[in-house]
Structures are given as structure tokens and as C-alpha cells.
Amino acid sequence: MNAAPREPLYQNRRCTLNLQDKSIATQAVHGGQDRPLPGAGRSWVPTSTPIYQTSSFMYDNAETMAAIFEGKIQGYVYGRFGTPTGDALQRAVALLEGGDIAVGFASGMAAVHAALLASGLSAGDTLLSAQDLYGATQSLFLQVLSRMGVHVHLLDVTDHAAVAQALATRRPKVLYVETMSNPLLKIADLPALARLAHDHGALFLVDSTFTSPYLVQPLRHGADMVIHSATKYLGGHGDVTGGVVVASAQWEAGLNSMARLVGGVLSPHDAWLIQRGIKTLPLRMQRQCQNAATIAQALMSHPLVARVIYPGLPGHPQHNLAERLFRDGLGGAMVSFELADGSRQRVLHFFNNLRLCIPATTLGDVYTLLLHPATSSHSYLTPEQRQAVGIGDGLVRLSAGIEDVADIIADLDQALRAL
Ligand SMILES: Cc1ncc(COP(=O)(O)O)c(C=O)c1O
């Protein structure tokens, strides 16, 4: 059950606290908490939302349970239908994104799928999407949704003339983009794309995993739904898999229904871990963005690096857009770069030389993480297809962690020099 996130359930003395007008640092720490009222014979409440590790709930009488099932009163009946821990996380994320509601899922992919199903996308409809997508999202579109009769059309969403033309001719149900593309870190112009989509009667869905609500809040720029792989910056510690969709209240019933019927729901323990991660999201993002900017600068002057892609660098094609869209003009916490003479073997050798930074298939953690798109996230493309989209064998994607940046740069440098 989703309680309205606009009125956080502070079930203790601080129930008058209104978080809507607080800064994101305060919202991240206090958002969504569900502190159960003191029970019989006790006067205390936990300061942290408990993990309600239960698959069902019981009531004093059967009539109450029946009334909940009929939707006459709110309450919890069964884990797949919602838990207090899951609802606390949902309120926290909705608050951070400036949405009315959020619905949690077992992974980012489950969230992507549920958002599209809840949008009403059906057989015969067209899904217009950015071509620079997370690989599994692209496969979901091209292999699964296509098979179900959805027409999928991919294009470069930084080319607004092409987007306008495709919207006009293909009349899609949904325009789908990622705020920052992977691994080339192109930035989607959210306000412009939202306007274009809506002018042509399409819904605008945005995967904001790479930027997190700290950098940008797509709903404020016109998105109809925002999707996160909470496995990344929201969780932030590399210890949980989850996803969230945030939207206005009109989408609540549809999203909840997809969670319940398709069943990819978030467990109470994972919801709790993500909410715990969120408390430090602003701190982590500030540090990770600062570290990324310093790493990008260091790599720019490194003799063994041929090219650096970072939205915070003036040479990035969407540098001005990033400055305008992202909080405090930050450039994000992801850096991509190409090794000079970067054969596949040379990059793998470089990865093997790393001592502090971790080669792993994820991002957004407190650890600095590196990924080789050609042999992992984009290995499903042929070498020619990779070259065509600009992903060479020498390309490396780095997710800046919160370690001391001098240590990160020293590790990258020693791993490069040992080649
Ligand atoms: C942009 C983006 N969206 C969605 C996903 C899928 O998330 P998950 O791995 O939590 O299913 C990922 C995973 O890397 C991603 O990078």
C-alpha cells in the first residue's frame, strides 16, 4: 500500500515536520521514515524504520482485512502488495525526485519493464527510444517487447530534428531516454525532449540512474515517470539490487498493479538497505562528482590516455547543457576515457594492474569502479556496430568512488605505466 508521500508518516512527536520545503540533504536523511507508535507497556519508538521481515499481516478481526482488500481502508495484508519498510523507501525516493509516488521493484530492469507496462504500451504501439541505452534495457526493448508486438525505434536523442520527425511520423506512445548515456556520457536535454514528446502526444519516460536525484530531477523538467536502478547511486554501497519508478499520483494504481501482478517486488531488507544508502546520497554525490572532475583533469594530461569524456569538461559536446541541468553545475561522477594504442588486450592488462580501483560491472558505489564496455556491457554488439556508435576497444568507463582522489589517480597512473 502506498501512503501519499507528500505527508510523510512521522508517527512520533515530530509528526509536524514538513520535508517538502527542506533541502535535499535534509530530505535524504529524514525522508519517508516510518516509526511505529509505542506499543502497550513501552514508550519508545525506533529512530530507524524497522525491517518488517514478514510475508503477511494479521488484524484483530477479519472484517478489517476484508475492508483493506476492498480498498475501503489502507493497510498491509501481503508482502507482494507492500510492506511498511518498502513504503518508507518509496516515500523517501518520491520526496527526493519531487514526485507524488514511488514504487519499488526487485531490480532496475524490473522497474524499467513495469514503467513501460504501466504506461499502457501495448501490441501495435511504437516505443521511440534513445539508441545509447544500458545493454539489458536495449535487449528488453528489441528482444522482449518487440516479440510482444511493440514497434521499437532507436535514435540519437541529442539530434532533436530527428526526434521531432520520428515523433511526427511514427506517433509513438512513449519516448524513452537515459539522463546520461552509457558509456559515452551524452546528456539528454530533458526539458526540450519533454516538450517535443508532449507536443506529439507521447509520454516521456526517463531512466535517471546515472545522475540520481541529487544531480537532476527529471519530473521537474517534464518527465512523466522517472526510473532508477537503485542498485547504483541510491543504494551506493554495492550491496543491494533494486529499482524504483517515481511519478505523479495518476500512475500509482498502474505501477502498483504491475508490481503485484508481474511480481518483481522489492524485499523489505533490500528496501531498508537502499533507504540507508539514500541518507548519504548528497554527501556521496558531492564527493564522487568532485573526484570525477579531478580524475578527468588528471587523465587529460596523461601521456597514455588518448581521449577523456566527461560532461564537466568544456570540450564535452553537452557541457553547457550539463552545467544548466545538473545541481551546482556539477559534471557528474562518471568519466570515460580511451587508452592510447588501446587494444582489447592492453585494456584487460591495465585492469589486471589495478590495485585499489575495482574492475566490476556496476557503478555508483563508494568504491571507484572500472568497466570495459567492449568486453562487458556492449559485448553483444559486433565490433563494427561498436565502432559505429563510438565504443572502441580502448574505451574504459570509470565510476568515481569516495576514496581520496590522490589515491585513485595514483592507482590509475601505476596501472597505466605498468603496461
Ligand atoms: C542506466 C541503467 N538502467 C537500468 C539498469 C538495470 O538495473 P539493475 O541492474 O538494477 O536491474 C542499469 C544497470 O546497470 C543501468 O545502468
Over residues 215-249, the pLDDT tens digits come to: 999 999 999 999 999 999 999 999 999 999 999 99
Residue 195 annotated to the active site? no
**Lowest mean pLDDT segment, chosen from 37-46, 105-114, 156-165:** 37-46
- Quick: pLDDT tens for 267-293: 999 999 999 999 999 999 999 999 999
Q: Looking at per-residue confidence, does 13 or 70 come out higher?
A: 70
Query: Does the annotation count 173 as an active-site position?
Result: no
The answer to whether the 24-278 and 281-417 domains have the same CATH topology is: no
Tens of pLDDT along 153-166? 999 999 999 999 99
Catalytic-residue membership of 355: no
Residue 21, CA distances (Å) to 32, 86, 95, 360, 361 in order = 14, 24, 10, 38, 37
Check whether 22 has a pLDDT greater than 90.
Answer: yes
Q: Which atom of ligand 1 is nearest to the CA of 242?
A: 10
364 close to ligand 1 (CB < 6 Angstrom): no
Residue from 232, 244, 377, 380 whose mutation best tests the ligand 1 pocket (most atoms within 8 A of CB): 232
More confident residue, 94 or 384: 94
Ligand 1 neighbourhood includes 288 CB (under 6 angstroms):
no
- Quote the CA–CA distance of 295 and 357 in Å, as a whole number: 12
Q: What are phi and psi of 74, to 5 degrees?
A: -90, 145
Return the CATH number of the domain spanning residue range 281-417.
3.90.1150.10
- Sheet with 334-339, side-by-side order of all strands: 305-309, 334-339, 395-399, 369-371, 358-359
Residue whose CA is closest, atom 8 of ligand 1?
A: 108
Indicate whether 78 pLDDT > 90. Answer: yes
Residue 279 among the catalytic residues: no
Candidate of 105, 137, 211, 241 to mutate for ligand 1, largest count of ligand atoms within 8 Å of Cβ: 137
Which atom of ligand 1 sits closest to the CA of residue 112? 4
Please tell me which residue in 87, 189, 207, 270 is annotated as part of the active site: 207
Q: 3.90.1150.10, 3.40.50.720, 3.40.50.10320, 3.40.640.10: which CATH number matches 24-278?
A: 3.40.640.10
* Domain segments of the chain as ranges: 24-278, 281-417
109: Cβ below 6 Å to ligand 1?
Answer: yes
pLDDT band at 4 (very low <50, low <70, confident <90, very high): very low
